[in-house]
Amino acid sequence: MNVLLIGSGGREHALAIALSKSPLLRKLFVAPGNPGTAEIAENVVLNVSDHRAVVDFCKIAAIDLVVIGPEQPLVDGLVDDLEASGIAAFGPSREAARLEGSKAYTKALCDRARIPTAAYGRFSDRAAALAYLEKTGAPIVVKADGLAAGKGVVVAETIADARAAVEACFSGAFGAAGAEVVIEEKLEGEEASLFALSDGERVLALGSAQDHKRVGEGDTGPNTGGMGAYSPAPIMSAAIEARAMAEIVEPAIAAMRAAGAPFKGVLFAGLMIGRDGPKLIEFNARFGDPETQVVVPRLDEDLLALMHDCALGRLRTERIRLKPRAALTVVLAAQGYPGEPERGTEINGIARAAALPDVVVTHAGTKRDGARLLANGGRVLNVTGFGADVRAAREAAYKGVDAIDWPGGFCRRDIGWRALG
Ligand code: AMP
Ligand code: GLY
């Protein structure tokens, strides 16, 4: 098969590595890709928001499957436009991607399908939202309805912070994403993520992960896209995973199908595991970054075959097999991240790190300048280690980190602390 993978981050590099191992693959293109994907695939320049241009490329290059990494093209309906032109795509339709694109849509689905989640109210009116806050009190969680690049959620410990978050949404801090606001109960417990593959009808668990969102050690400081992750999540026991599938993921897939918007692709459930079991925090309609870097290499399956089956609505596999190994990834970020990252600093030693046993390095925000490799973003590299358990995976990952010579970067040294207790 000829495959076009859309995206440019560490997630896409990890997907490219897995896809390139498939015996079904003839040629892999990545748009736009990064210097890491360039080593194993052909990077192509395409304006992904121009769906006509993507369709035209697929026809010229005889693409059999398009795999979409990030959420924006899904929410924009790229899958709909590809399928309308007879091109198979892995990822949900515009309507099904609303599971990520609109928090209010997902809350309404939870009501219909009786999916356990935080109690909530939704508001498109500032005064009504503020009145609701007076009733609930703090702590409370305020969310802009739409996609806000991970910045639209405030877990408010005081009513003053909650009011400020509501004001920010209605004053346009998140543009159209904040025109509607969801206010919900703060859930207690430990967070974990569960990934599942669906062809619109059947759904299979793909693995669990936990990430570290805060920039600082001990999970302190501002939120980021994720500073590290590991898989499996120790808290996601077989029993908890079975409950999360039966009570959250399977009902969601069934409800989407019943609504005439079958969800095909990977459903990423962000869960809070509390005393009375798993509750849904949010769905994402795509793989996580950096969770993909730890979830996908654990698959003891042909990822391309699975994705193609999902796209064609013919997922027949009984159960997805995982290797009996753990994975842990450390994000190397440029100084300044998550604020304005310093660009253009030189990175050395990747080959040395990648030559170590049980270490894989993926590129997230790099660029080539002749023979030199430069930082070109906030999250720049991911160093992933593998081992018999999370502790061994972490040891391998930090050996890889220490082999890299990049004075312009930093990382957290405590990834996995919760799992290692
Ligand atoms: P979201 O963008 O919905 O994933 O929210 C970002 C983060 O906010 C989550 O990963 C949680 O840490 C936190 N969060 C969101 N909703 C809740 C909630 N209802 N209770 C507690 N924490 C939450
Ligand atoms: N790491 C969280 C995400 O991909 O949304």
Structure confidence by residue, pLDDT tens digits, 259-298: 999 999 999 999 999 999 999 999 999 999 999 999 999 9
Residue 155 Cβ contacting ligand 1 at under 6 Å: yes
Q: What is the CATH number of domain 326-420?
A: 3.90.600.10
pLDDT of amino acid 201:
97
> What's the chain's average pLDDT?
95
Average pLDDT over residues 12-29: 98
Please identify, by atom number, the ligand 2 atom nearest to the C-alpha of residue 211: 1
> Which residue has its alpha carbon closest to ligand 1 atom 19?
186
pLDDT at 369: 96
User: Which helix or strand (DSSP H or E) is residue 266 part of?
Assistant: strand 264-274
Distance of CA 181 to the CA centre of its chain: 23
- Residue 178 above 70 pLDDT? no
Q: How confident is the model at residue 149 (pLDDT cuts 50, 70, 90)?
A: low
Taking CB atoms and a 6 Å cutoff, what residues make up the pocket around ligand 2?
211, 225-226, 284, 288-289, 291
Residue 44 in contact with residue 51, Cβ under 8 Å? Answer: no
Mean pLDDT, to the nearest integer, of 18-41?
98
In CATH terms, 190-312 corresponds, of 3.30.1550.10, 3.40.50.300, 3.30.470.20, 1.10.3720.10, to 3.30.470.20
Percent of the chain scored above 70 by pLDDT? 98
- pLDDT tens digits along 339-349: 999 999 999 99
Split at pLDDT 50, 70, 90, the class of 115 is very high
* CATH 3.30.470.20 location in the chain: 190-312
Judged by its nearest atom, the ligand closest to the C-alpha of residue 271 is 1
- The CA 191 to ligand 1 mean position distance, Å, reads 9
Q: What is the mean pLDDT of residues 358-381?
A: 97
Rounded CA-CA distance 205/21 in Å is 21
pLDDT in tens, 191-209: 999 999 999 999 999 999 9
Asked if pLDDT for residue 180 goes beyond 90, the answer is no
Residue 177 pLDDT exceeds 90: no
When pLDDT is cut at 50, 70 and 90, the band that residue 101 belongs to is confident
pTM, rounded to two decimals: 0.95
Q: Where in the chain is the domain with CATH 3.30.1490.20?
A: 125-179
CATH 3.90.600.10 residue spans of the chain: 326-420
Measured distance CA(389)–CA(43) in Å, rounded: 35
Task: Give the pLDDT mean for 175-197.
Answer: 89
User: Phi and psi dihedrals of 184, rounded to 5?
Assistant: -140, 160
**Amino acid (one-letter) located at 203:** V
The reported pLDDT for the residue numbered 145 is 78
Q: Is 141 in the pocket of ligand 1 (CB under 6 A)?
A: yes
Report whether pLDDT(368) > 80: yes
> How far apart (Å, rounded) are the C-alpha atoms in residues 32 and 48?
9
Cα 132 to middle of ligand 1, angstroms: 19
Span from the CA of 223 to the centroid of ligand 2 (angstroms): 11
Q: What is the helix (H) or strand (E) element at residue 387, kind and residue range?
A: strand 379-387
CA of 353 to the centre of ligand 2 (A): 25
**pLDDT the model gives residue 151:** 67
- Is domain 125-179 in CATH 3.30.1490.20, yes or no? yes
Give dist(CA 38, CA 363) in Å, integer: 10
The tens digit of pLDDT for each residue in 39-65 reads 999 999 999 999 999 999 999 999 999
CATH class of the 2-91 domain in this structure = alpha beta
Give CA–CA dist 319/298, Å, rounded: 14
176 versus 106: which is more confidently predicted? 106
Shortest-distance Cα residue to atom 16 of ligand 1: 281
**Does the CB atom of residue 77 touch ligand 1 within 6 A?**
no
Nearest protein CA to atom 5 of ligand 2, as residue: 288
